[in-house]
A and B are shown apart, each in its own frame.
Chain A
C-alpha cells in the first residue's frame, strides 16, 4: 500500500494569513502515461463528511474558493490556503488514487490562532 504522511499534524494560523499543509507519499503517484499526479485533497468539518477540494494535485473542484491551491509532483505535495478564513477551520486530508487500495493521509487540523 502507498502510505500518505501529512505534516504538520496541526497548525494554528491567524485570520488572513497563509496556511501550508504538506503531504508525502511513500512512492510516486505521478503516472508516466499522462504526466498526472493522482492526488486529491479534502477538508472535513466537525460532524460532516470529507469534502473534495482539489484533484490531480492542483485542479480545484467547482465552487472551491481560489484561496485554496495545490502543488507538487511525484511524492511531495502541498495544499496552501492563501488567506485563512474562519470557515476554513477543519481537518485536511490528502488521498492517493494512483494504486489500489486508495489511501489517505492521517489529517492536519487547521485552527485559528
Chain B
C-alpha cells in the first residue's frame, strides 16, 4: 500500500514562499499511470485542489492559484513539491498530497497525513 508523507516548514512569513515536499513510498511516482496532487484545507475555504503533476512533468493548476503556484517532481527521489509564492494569512491551511489514477478518474486515494502551514510574522 503506497504511503505519502508531506514535509516542510510549519511557519512561513507573509510575502514569502511556502515550500513543501511529498515523499512517495514506492516507485509508482515514476509510472505514467498516476498523477500527483496538492490539496489544502482551511476553515475558510474547506478543501481546495491546488494542482497536479504527472511523472512526465506535465502540470495542471487551479486557476485561482495558478499565478502563484509551481509543482515539480523528482522521480529519482520519489518526491514531488509545491511552491506558493507571496503568501498571505489566507494561505494558512493543512496541506495534503494525494494520488489519483491518470485517465481513469480524478478521485484521490491515498492522501498523506497533512501538514499544517501557518502564515504569520
Q: Which residues of A contact B (CB under 8 A)?
A: 38, 40, 42, 48-52, 55-56, 61, 93, 95, 97, 100-107
Q: Chain A residues near B98 (CB, 8 Å)?
A: 49
B106 touches A102 (CB 8 A): yes
Contacts A101-B49, A101-B63; is A40 near B107 (CB within 8 Å)? yes
B105 touches A49 (CB 8 A): no
Interface-facing stretch out of B11-19, B21-29, B79-87, B111-119:
B111-119
Using an 8 Å CB-CB cutoff, how does the interface string of B94-121 with A read, 1 for contact, 0 for none?
0010101000011111111110000000
Q: Chain A residues near B49 (CB, 8 Å)?
A: 101-104
Q: Which of A61, A104, A105 has the most CB of B within 10 A?
A: A104
A104 to B47 CA separation, bound complex (whole angstroms): 6
Q: Chain A residues near B111 (CB, 8 Å)?
A: 49-51
Q: Which residues of B contact A (CB under 8 A)?
A: 46-49, 60, 62-64, 96, 98, 100, 105-114
Q: Which of B63, B98, B109, B110 has the most CB of A within 10 A?
A: B109
What is the interface of chain A mostly: helix, strand, loop, or mixed?
loop
Q: Chain B residues near A61 (CB, 8 Å)?
A: 109
Q: How many Å from the CB of B2 to the closest CB on chain A?
A: 13
A50 touches B46 (CB 8 A): no
Known: A50-B96, A55-B105, A95-B108. 12 other contacts (CB 8 A): A38-B106, A42-B108, A49-B113, A51-B109, A55-B107, A97-B106, A100-B62, A100-B106, A102-B49, A103-B49, A104-B49, A106-B46
